[in-house]
C-alpha cells in the first residue's frame, strides 16, 4: 500500500524545511524527503544568511541555531589591474541579532530539519524523488527510488536543478544566461587571525563582495565571508558568459584567490573543501508560475534569488513559510486546487523581497546588454582615486582635469548620465 500524507515536501534545504516546519506546527501530517546522505549534504550557500525571514518563522533562532559569525561589516571591493578600492561599512553600535550570519549548511540544515522533525514532520533521507505523480491534471504524490508516496499537496523544494518541475511541465529548463555557477572553497584559519585580519571581535564577521573583471570581458562576482574558523571564498559567473569565453570555473577561483585584494585575507589558510553550485540569476522575469493543482514550488526551484543583493536562502525561507501557510488553508478548506493555491503566488509577489526583484529586473537586463559597465566603473573609480591620492607635482585642478578626461575616454558623458538614471530608477 502506498503511504499517504497530507503533504509531502521534496528537498530539505531552507525552503523545504520551513514549509514542513510551518505545516507540522499546525498539525498537518507532513513528510519531507531528502536525497542526501544527511540534511545539508548536497547544499551550498555563499555564506551569509540574512535572518529576517527566519526570525518570522522561528523567533529567537539565534539563541540555538548553529551560526558562524554575526556580520557587522559589509564591503564592496572594486577590483582593478594593480589597484583596488574597498568601500566598507562597519556597525559598532547596538547588536541586532536579526541581521545576517554566516552559516555552514551541513550544520545549519541539520539543525533546522531537526526543528521540523520535533514539530512533528516525518523525515525521510537518502531518498530521491524522480517524478511528481499526476492523476488527471493534478499532482497527487511523488515517485521515489524507494517507492511511491501520496499526498494532497506536494511542495517542491528541489533546489537549482529543477528536473521535477520541468518534467511536470511547471517550468521550462533554464537557459545558460539565466543561471550562474559559483565555485567556493572553505579555507581554514584560526579564529584570532580572522578577527585581526578583518578587524572584528569574537563572534562577529565580515562580508566582502568583489566586483570587476577577472578576465577580459567576463562579468562575475566574488566574495569572502568569515566563518568561526574558516573563510568562505568564492567566485561565480553567468554560465553563458563562461561558455563564450571558454573559462573553467576552477581557473576562475584560482585567479580570484591570487588577487591582491583577496590573497592577504586567506594567506596561510588551508583549503578544507571545494564546492560548486548553481544560482538562479534570471530575476523576476525568469520566475515561473509557482503553483498548480496539488503543487507549490519554493526556493531556488522558484528562481528566488536576488542577484543584486546576494539574497537566496532568506528568500527560500520566506517562500517556504508562505507555501506552508497556504497549504494549511488548503487543508482547512479541503481544496488543493489552483483556486486556493494561487494565494501563494499572490502573497509572494506582494512580499518585500519579490517587489525588490520586480523593480530590479530591468536593471539586470540593462547590465546584460551593457556588460562593460561592470568593469568600466571599477576601472574608472580605481584610476580616479589613484590620481587623487598621488602627490606628483600636479595641482588639484590638473588632477581633476586628468580624472575627467580619463573618465570620458572610457565612457561618454551621455552614457554615464544614462547609467546613473537607470540605476537610480531601478534601485529606488
Partner 1 sequence: MRLEEKLYLLRHVVDEKSHIKIDEDACMRCADRVCLDICPANVYSYVEPKVFIAYENCVECGTCRIACPFVEWVNPIGGTGISYRYG
Residue 366 CA: distances (Å) to CA of 363, 370, 419, 420, 423? 5, 6, 9, 12, 9
157 near partner 1, rule: CB under 8 A: no
37 near partner 1, rule: CB under 8 A: yes
163 near partner 1, rule: CB under 8 A: yes
45 near partner 1, rule: CB under 8 A: yes
160 near partner 1, rule: CB under 8 A: yes
Stretch that binds partner 1, among 69-77, 180-188, 353-361, 392-400 (CB under 8 A): 180-188
339, 294 Cβ separation under 8 angstroms: no
3-state secondary structure of 40: coil
Rounded CA-CA distance 172/131 in Å is 16
Shortest CA distance to 263 belongs to which of 273, 253, 250?
253
Which sign, positive or negative, has the C-alpha torsion 251, 254, 259, 261? Answer: positive
Backbone angles phi, psi at 187, to 5 degrees: -115, 110
Helices first, then strands: H and E counts in the chain: 14, 17
96 near partner 1, rule: CB under 8 A: no
Q: Rounded to the nearest 10 degrees, what angle do helices 313-333 and 338-349 cross at?
A: 150
Rounded CA-CA distance 308/12 in Å is 26
Rounded CA-CA distance 207/267 in Å is 17
249 near partner 1, rule: CB under 8 A: yes
> Shortest Cβ distance from residue 364 to partner 1 (Å)?
17
241 near partner 1, rule: CB under 8 A: no
CA torsion 117-38-179-210 (nearest 10°) is 100
Q: Which three cell numbers stand for residue 121?
A: 514532520
> Taking the mean position of all CA atoms in its chain, how far away is CA 133?
29
> Shortest Cβ distance from residue 103 to partner 1 (Å)?
9
370 near partner 1, rule: CB under 8 A: no
Among 275, 309, 343, 361, binds partner 1 (CB under 8 A): 275
Rounded CA-CA distance 207/361 in Å is 24
**Binding mask 101-120 vs partner 1 (x if CB under 8 A, - otherwise)?**
---xxx--x-----------
Residue 35 vs 84, nearer CB to partner 1: 35
276 near partner 1, rule: CB under 8 A: yes
141, 9 Cβ separation under 8 angstroms: no
Residue 167 vs 404, nearer CB to partner 1: 167
273 near partner 1, rule: CB under 8 A: yes
Burial 242-261 (b: 16+ CB within 10 A, else e): beeeebebeebbeebbebeb
Residue 84 vs 277, nearer CB to partner 1: 277
222 near partner 1, rule: CB under 8 A: no
Among 27, 81, 146, 390, binds partner 1 (CB under 8 A): 146
Query: Could you say which residues in the range 197-216 bind partner 1, by CB under 8 A?
Result: none
> Shortest Cβ distance from residue 68 to partner 1 (Å)?
10
Among 64, 196, 254, 398, binds partner 1 (CB under 8 A): 254
Among 18, 51, 53, 127, binds partner 1 (CB under 8 A): 127
188, 229 Cβ separation under 8 angstroms: yes
314 near partner 1, rule: CB under 8 A: no
Among 16, 36, 283, 310, binds partner 1 (CB under 8 A): 36
Stretch that binds partner 1, among 100-108, 213-221, 350-358, 405-413 (CB under 8 A): 100-108
35 near partner 1, rule: CB under 8 A: yes
State the DSSP code for 411: S
Among 9, 30, 44, 266, binds partner 1 (CB under 8 A): 44
Rounded CA-CA distance 60/31 in Å is 25
Residue 120 vs 249, nearer CB to partner 1: 249
Stretch that binds partner 1, among 55-63, 170-178, 356-364, 388-396 (CB under 8 A): 170-178
Give the number of other CB atoms < 10 A from CB of residue 99: 16
Residue 200 vs 278, nearer CB to partner 1: 278
191 near partner 1, rule: CB under 8 A: no
DSSP string, 89-137: EE--SS--TTSEEE--HHHHHHHHHHHHHHTT-EEE-S--EEEEEEETT
122 near partner 1, rule: CB under 8 A: no
The site for partner 1 (CB under 8 A) is made up of 35-38, 40-45, 104-106, 109, 125-128, 130, 144-146, 160-161, 163, 173-176, 179, 181, 183, 185-186, 230, 239, 242-243, 246-250, 254, 271-278
Amino acid at each position: 500500500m502506498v503511504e499517504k500524507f497530507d503533504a509531502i515536501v521534496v528537498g530539505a534545504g531552507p525552503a523545504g524545511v520551513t514549509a514542513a516546519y510551518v505545516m507540522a506546527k499546525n498539525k498537518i501530517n507532513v513528510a519531507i524527503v531528502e536525497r542526501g546522505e544527511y540534511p545539508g549534504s548536497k547544499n551550498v550557500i555563499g555564506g551569509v544568511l540574512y535572518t529576517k525571514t527566519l526570525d518570522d518563522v522561528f523567533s529567537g533562532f539565534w539563541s540555538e541555531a548553529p551560526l558562524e559569525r554575526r556580520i557587522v561589516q559589509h564591503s564592496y571591493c572594486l577590483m582593478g589591474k594593480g589597484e583596488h578600492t574597498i568601500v566598507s561599512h562597519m556597525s559598532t553600535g547596538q547588536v541586532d541579532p536579526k541581521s545576517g550570519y554566516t552559516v555552514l549548511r551541513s550544520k545549519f540544515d541539520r539543525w533546522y530539519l531537526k526543528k521540523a522533525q520535533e514539530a512533528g514532520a516525518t523525515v525521510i533521507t537518502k531518498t530521491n524523488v524522480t517524478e511528481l505523480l499526476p492523476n488527471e491534471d493534478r499532482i497527487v504524490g511523488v515517485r521515489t527510488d524507494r517507492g511511491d508516496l501520496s499526498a494532497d499537496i506536494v511542495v517542491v523544494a528541489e533546489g537549482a536543478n529543477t528536473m521535477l518541475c520541468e518534467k511536470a511541465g511547471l517550468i521550462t529548463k533554464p537557459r545558460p544566461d539565466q543561471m550562474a555557477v559559483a565555485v567556493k572553497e572553505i579555507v581554514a584559519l584560526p579564529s584570532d587571525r580572522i578577527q585581526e585580519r578583518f578587524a572584528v571581535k569574537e563572534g562577529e564577521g565580515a562580508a566582502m563582495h568583489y566586483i570587476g573583471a577577472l578576465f577580459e570581458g567576463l562579468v562575475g562576482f566574488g566574495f569572502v565571508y568569515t566563518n568561526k574558523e574558516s573563510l568562505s571564498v568564492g567566485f561565480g559567473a553567468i554560465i553563458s558568459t563562461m561558455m563564450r569565453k571558454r573559462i573553467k570555473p576552477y581557473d576562475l577561483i584560482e585567479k580570484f584567490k591570487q588577487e591582491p585584494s583577496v590573497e592577504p585575507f586567506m594567506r596561510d589558510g588551508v583549503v578544507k573543501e571545494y564546492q560548486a553550485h548553481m544560482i538562479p540569476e534570471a530575476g523576476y522575469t525568469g520566475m515561473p508560475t509557482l503553483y498548480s493543482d496539488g503543487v507549490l514550488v519554493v526556493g531556488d526551484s522558484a528562481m528566488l534569488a536576488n542577484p543584486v543583493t546576494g539574497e537566496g536562502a532568506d528568500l527560500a525561507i520566506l517562500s517556504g513559510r508562505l507555501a506552508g501557510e497556504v497549504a494549511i488553508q488548503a487543508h482547512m478548506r479541503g481544496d488543493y486546487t489552483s483556486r486556493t493555491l494561487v494565494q501563494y503566488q499572490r502573497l509572494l509577489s506582494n512580499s518585500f523581497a519579490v517587489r525588490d526583484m520586480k523593480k530590479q529586473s530591468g536593471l539586470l537586463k540593462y547590465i546584460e546588454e551593457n556588460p562593460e559597465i561592470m568593469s568600466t566603473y571599477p576601472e574608472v573609480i580605481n584610476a580616479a582615486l589613484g590620481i587623487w591620492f598621488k602627490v606628483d607635482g600636479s595641482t588639484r585642478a590638473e588632477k581633476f582635469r586628468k580624472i575627467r578626461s580619463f573618465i570620458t575616454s572610457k565612457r561618454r558623458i551621455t552614457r554615464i548620465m544614462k547609467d546613473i538614471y537607470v540605476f537610480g530608477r531601478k534601485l529606488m
